[in-house]
Chains A and B, each alone.
Chain A
Amino acid sequence: MGKNLYDKVFERHTVRELESGQFQVLVGLHLIHEVTSPQAFSMLRQSGLKLLYPERTFATCDHIIPTLDQSRPFADSVAEQMIAELEKNCKEFAITYFSHTDGEQGVVHVVGPEKGLTQPGMVICCGDSHTATHGAFGSIALGIGTSQVRDVLATQTLPMSKLKVRRILVNGRLKPGVFAKDVALYIINKLGVEGGVGYAYEYAGDVFDRFSMDERMTVCNMAIEGGARCGYINPDETTYQFLKGRRYAPRENFWQQAMAYWESVKSDPDAQYADRVTYQAEQIEPMVTWGINPGQSLGVNARLPELTEVPKNQRPLVEEALRYMNFKPGMPIKGQKIDVAFIGSCTNGRYSDFELVANLLQRGQYKVAPGVRALAVPGSQLVHRQLIERGLDRVFSEAGFELRNAGCSMCLAMNPDKLQGRELCASSSNRNFKGRQGSPEGRTLLMSPVMVAASAIAGEVADAREVFDLNT
């Protein structure tokens, strides 16, 4: 019987079996940001420990960075303290830091791949749950806690238990107006937000074969929202082409050697899986969440569930979501007035996300509806520069979007970009938890960037296929 990628990469990185029955696993790439690393560094200092392989840790600043005025010191003194601490730690421990003064900063899960750091066949860790993103390259990529950040810094290893692997096939062709984000939301809707607990997800099939790396990252990013610790896609020509020429990717003379390694970790055709599910791409509609977890979603033209349709044990959660969102059972989601539109985050803040939206905006002189605050926030400074170079920044501003500087921005509220009061936000991010976007009563509707743009123009939740005439 063959092996899947997860098993192969896990085995290649196993240092030894621990007495607890867990495995000590080597971490090939460690990414850090300002929120979850400072305490890990103080723990190191306290115990007098050094970094074992400082060259395998890379840092950037994303959560707390303001997206308007990035001049130092930051207006928020705590934010300033946090970035200063990160700079100090990187200096003291000889860690490469992608800073915003050098134009290299961005959301950690956007920066890693664009620098060519993220590669197939690695074990990748970061003190951030959306580390799952990097699985798009065929790696085991896991979010970890602060003590684990310390342990990776000090030992480059972690104790790990083996996960089961579920193979998720999506075959067929996506309909026009249906994007990677819709696939991600669809899978979570089908398998549930806890459906992935104890699993790694292997995504495969026609749809993923055709996806670009950006699209693959969007789906892997949200593996964690389905309860899986990580998600991955086997590397292929698309992966290799993406990597070629990037700063940390193998140079020409090592390319063959690298390819040999990457090919060797791919799932065997007869690999075993703990579970398999298959979906048909044609079934997937443009998705919108209506509740307070990413599994509470529906096709844009569907109606919210009636309470009688909901299994009894799930009713309290549905009722709680309806109350919080101020929605009624059975009502349509389309037509709900929105206050804010946000395009960005590590789910959908890459160049291709903005390019796609800009191309549509350009088609018809579309304008953001009066009263809607629309933010477009690049996932990295590189994405931002690319937008400017190609003149797409003007497309956004002419349509009424505010194009900001790179950062996590309104994905969560550790910087000045926040919802106010009970505002309703169409958002291309990944979490619609209560209060996630900065107001304790703020409300989030997750959807694809194109759907966010369509809703911004309509001033209400809209079907992008109608707004942009996508049905061909």
Chain B
Amino acid sequence: MSDLKRERISAKAVTVGGSDIDTDRIIPARYLKCVTFEGLGEHAFEDDRSQLKQSGALHPFDIHEFAQAQILFVCKNFGCGSSREHAPQALMRWNKGIRAIVGVSFAEIFFGNCLTLGIPCVTADEQSIKELACANRADPDLEFCVDLKQMKVFFAAREVAISMPESAREALITGRWDPTVELLKSKDHIAASAARLPYFRGWSSAT
């Protein structure tokens, strides 16, 4: 299961500024009426992006130089609003897929939804986020390394400290963040429990 371990994520980055970016902005509510998360990626930040376009500006997700990014820098209370899982699902499906998010703070449910998908949301102080964002904007090709073992982001011979609740960090670096895999580990136990419940096989086929 080594491929589930999330120790170090090295990639290019993109910065989306602004506090309290809610799940509606990450993925507009109309995409709730859909049958699959696939294809959600292209709609990430859709309304923000089109509004900016109309005003003659470009959202970072529309700037060609950032198209390779897999690490996202954000500000405060990112992912607030509804509990919909569509938000992290959209981010992990945008272009090459966001694999780690660094911000000042995250909404709790969003954080949990990301964890279930193996996407670490780590926090850093405002000054550090500024530093990361500046370096990222100055050079879109710059590689960042989010290191969950050392709890630092490394870039261009510099580093900033990051933090994350220990239980989440532990689950990510040991590869135990995927609940399905965890639950499937005890298939025999599951079968035994099912056999103990008189109704489980349907009464008509019970013995």
User: Which among B33, B116, B180 is the interface contact of A154 at CB below 8 angstroms?
Assistant: B180
The residue of chain B having its C-beta at the shortest distance from the C-beta of A43 within the complex is: B37
Assess A157 versus B190: contact at CB under 8 Å? Given A42-B36, A47-B180, A257-B198. yes
For A258, list chain B residues within 8 Å (CB): 198-199, 203
The residue of chain A having its C-beta at the shortest distance from the C-beta of B181 within the complex is: A47
For A146, list chain B residues within 8 Å (CB): 85
Q: Which of A63-85 contact B (CB under 8 A)?
A: 64, 78, 81-82, 85
Q: Which of B29-48 contact A (CB under 8 A)?
A: 32-38
Contact A151 B179 (CB under 8 A): yes
Interface 0/1 of A138-158, CB less than 8 Å to B: 000000011100110011111
For B196, list chain A residues within 8 Å (CB): 12
Q: Which of B67-121 contact A (CB under 8 A)?
A: 83, 85, 89, 113, 116-117
Q: Does B157 contact A (CB under 8 A)?
A: no
Once the chains are docked, how many angstroms separate the CA of A78 from the CA of B89? 20
Q: Does B18 contact A (CB under 8 A)?
A: no
Once the chains are docked, how many angstroms separate the CA of A55 from the CA of B200? 9
Q: Does B186 contact A (CB under 8 A)?
A: yes
Q: Does B156 contact A (CB under 8 A)?
A: no
Q: Does B138 contact A (CB under 8 A)?
A: no
For A26, list chain B residues within 8 Å (CB): 190, 193-194, 197, 200
Contact B37 A254 (CB under 8 A): no
Contact A156 B190 (CB under 8 A): yes
Q: Does A288 contact B (CB under 8 A)?
A: no
Q: Does A324 contact B (CB under 8 A)?
A: no
User: Which among A13, A85, A154 is the interface contact of B197 at CB below 8 angstroms?
Assistant: A13
Once the chains are docked, how many angstroms separate the CA of A69 from the CA of B162? 56
Q: Does B176 contact A (CB under 8 A)?
A: yes
Once the chains are docked, how many angstroms separate the CA of A12 from the CA of B183? 17
Contact B36 A155 (CB under 8 A): no
Once the chains are docked, how many angstroms separate the CA of A323 from the CA of B113? 34
For B158, list chain A residues within 8 Å (CB): none
Contact B197 A78 (CB under 8 A): no
Interface 0/1 of A22-45, CB less than 8 Å to B: 001010100000010011001100
Q: Does B2 contact A (CB under 8 A)?
A: no
Q: From residue A389, how far is it (CB to closest CB) to chain B in Å?
A: 28
A-B contact count (CB 8 A): 109
User: Which among A53, A81, A261 is the interface contact of B194 at CB below 8 angstroms?
Assistant: A53
Contact A250 B186 (CB under 8 A): no
Contact B206 A42 (CB under 8 A): no
Contact A20 B167 (CB under 8 A): yes
Contact B37 A42 (CB under 8 A): yes
For A39, list chain B residues within 8 Å (CB): 35-37, 85, 89
Q: Does A159 contact B (CB under 8 A)?
A: yes
Once the chains are docked, how many angstroms separate the CA of A78 from the CA of B33? 7
Contact A42 B198 (CB under 8 A): no
Once the chains are docked, how many angstroms separate the CA of A381 from the CA of B184? 37
Interface residues on chain B, number (Cβ under 8 Å) = 36
The residue of chain B having its C-beta at the shortest distance from the C-beta of A153 within the complex is: B180
Contact B184 A154 (CB under 8 A): yes
Contact A13 B193 (CB under 8 A): yes
Once the chains are docked, how many angstroms separate the CA of A378 from the CA of B190? 38
For A157, list chain B residues within 8 Å (CB): 183, 190
Q: From residue B97, how far is it (CB to closest CB) to chain A in Å?
A: 13
Once the chains are docked, how many angstroms separate the CA of A52 from the CA of B36? 22
For A85, list chain B residues within 8 Å (CB): 35-36
Q: Does A327 contact B (CB under 8 A)?
A: no
Q: From residue A118, how far is it (CB to closest CB) to chain B in Å?
A: 11
Q: Does B55 contact A (CB under 8 A)?
A: no
Q: Does B56 contact A (CB under 8 A)?
A: no
User: Which among A154, A156, A159, A254 is the interface contact of B204 at CB below 8 angstroms?
Assistant: A254
Contact A15 B193 (CB under 8 A): yes
For A16, list chain B residues within 8 Å (CB): 186, 189
Q: Which of A150-197 contact B (CB under 8 A)?
A: 150-151, 154-159
Once the chains are docked, how many angstroms separate the CA of A151 from the CA of B199? 21
For A94, list chain B residues within 8 Å (CB): none
Once the chains are docked, how many angstroms separate the CA of A42 from the CA of B86? 13
Once the chains are docked, how many angstroms separate the CA of A49 from the CA of B187? 13
For B200, list chain A residues within 8 Å (CB): 26, 28, 53, 56
Contact B190 A15 (CB under 8 A): yes
Q: Does A5 contact B (CB under 8 A)?
A: no
Name the residue among B113, B117, B180, B206 with the largest chain A CB count within 10 angstroms.
Answer: B180
Once the chains are docked, how many angstroms separate the CA of A14 from the CA of B193? 7
Once the chains are docked, how many angstroms separate the CA of A52 from the CA of B38? 24
Q: Does A284 contact B (CB under 8 A)?
A: no
The residue of chain A having its C-beta at the shortest distance from the C-beta of B30 within the complex is: A78
For B184, list chain A residues within 8 Å (CB): 154-155
Once the chains are docked, how many angstroms separate the CA of A28 from the CA of B197? 9
Once the chains are docked, how many angstroms separate the CA of A218 from the CA of B38? 37
Contact B189 A147 (CB under 8 A): no
Assess A24 versus B37: contact at CB under 8 Å? Given A151-B180, A258-B198. no
Q: From residue A35, how far is it (CB to closest CB) to chain B in Å?
A: 8
Q: From residue B75, how far is it (CB to closest CB) to chain A in Å?
A: 25
Contact B35 A249 (CB under 8 A): no
Interface 0/1 of B155-198, CB less than 8 Å to A: 00000000000010001000010011011101101100110111
Once the chains are docked, how many angstroms separate the CA of A16 from the CA of B38? 34
Q: Does A425 contact B (CB under 8 A)?
A: no
8 A-B pairs with the lowest CB-CB distances in the bound complex, closest first = A250-B203, A38-B35, A155-B183, A254-B203, A85-B35, A42-B36, A15-B193, A26-B193
Given contacts A42-B38, A81-B35, 8 further A-B contacts (CB under 8 A): A14-B193, A26-B200, A78-B33, A147-B113, A151-B183, A155-B180, A155-B187, A257-B203
Q: What are 22 of the A-B contact pairs (CB < 8 Å)?
A: A14-B193, A15-B193, A26-B197, A28-B199, A38-B34, A39-B89, A49-B180, A53-B200, A64-B33, A81-B35, A119-B199, A145-B85, A147-B113, A150-B180, A154-B180, A155-B180, A156-B190, A157-B190, A250-B199, A257-B206, A261-B199, A414-B33
